[in-house]
Amino acid sequence: MTIRPILTAPDPRLQAVSMDVETVDSDIRTLVDDMADSMYAAEGIGLAAIQIGVAKRILVIDLDQKEGKKNPIPYINPKITWASEEMAVFEEGCLSVPEIWDDVERPARIRCEYLDRDGKKQTLEADGLLATCLQHEMDHLNGVLFIDHLSRLKKNMAIKKLTKAKKLQAAG
């Protein structure tokens, strides 16, 4: 088990477009395990590989974490194949955007395709928090953060706050 540090914005690496995984092998499964460990250590519900600096199209999500009962689900090369016209608003946060939360509107329901831990193709229809979480994490694979969905004013305020927090951290 390896907990890896999570990148925080602003960081140009978070804007990278991640690459498809070619083969789901033991290296990928180790990466998935490290992602899950890093996510739990940071008390998150979802993580994209780029958030630990690896530009591969992999997400890990666990929405029903209970004490001692972890069930991290990996989504490898996920693709949205359908999205509802109906929209839903959730207050989002992100391990790479610490201390900032805001409402984001996204399609309420989606269908997606992905590879599971064994490299098998799966399809999934999701709504509610899972639909939002999948879309938020898939955005990371294209270098997009949830603050990119906010108004320019709100986004600029968020980036200012994040930059200031980083300077304070660097100053120790």
Query: What residues are annotated to the active site?
Result: 137
d(Cα 58, Cα 49) in Å, to the nearest integer? 6
Q: With binding defined as CB under 5 A, does residue 59 bind Ni ion?
A: no
Q: With binding defined as CB under 5 A, does residue 45 bind Ni ion?
A: no
Residue sitting closest to Ni ion (CB)? 94
Query: Could you tell me how many residues of this chain bind Ni ion (CB under 5 A)?
Result: 1
Smallest distance from Ni ion to CB 92, Å: 8
d(Cα 96, Cα 10) in Å, to the nearest integer? 9
Region near Ni ion per CB under 5 A, out of 60-68, 93-101, 117-125, 157-165: 93-101
d(Cα 21, Cα 119) in Å, to the nearest integer? 10
d(Cα 93, Cα 122) in Å, to the nearest integer? 27
Region near Ni ion per CB under 5 A, out of 8-16, 18-26, 90-98, 110-118: 90-98
Region near Ni ion per CB under 5 A, out of 24-32, 57-65, 67-75, 89-97: 89-97
Strand partners, 82: 111
Pairing of strands 110-115, 121-126: antiparallel
Binding Ni ion (rule: CB under 5 A), the pick from 94, 104, 133, 141 is 94
Site of tokens 């991640």: 18
Binding site for Ni ion (CB under 5 A): 94
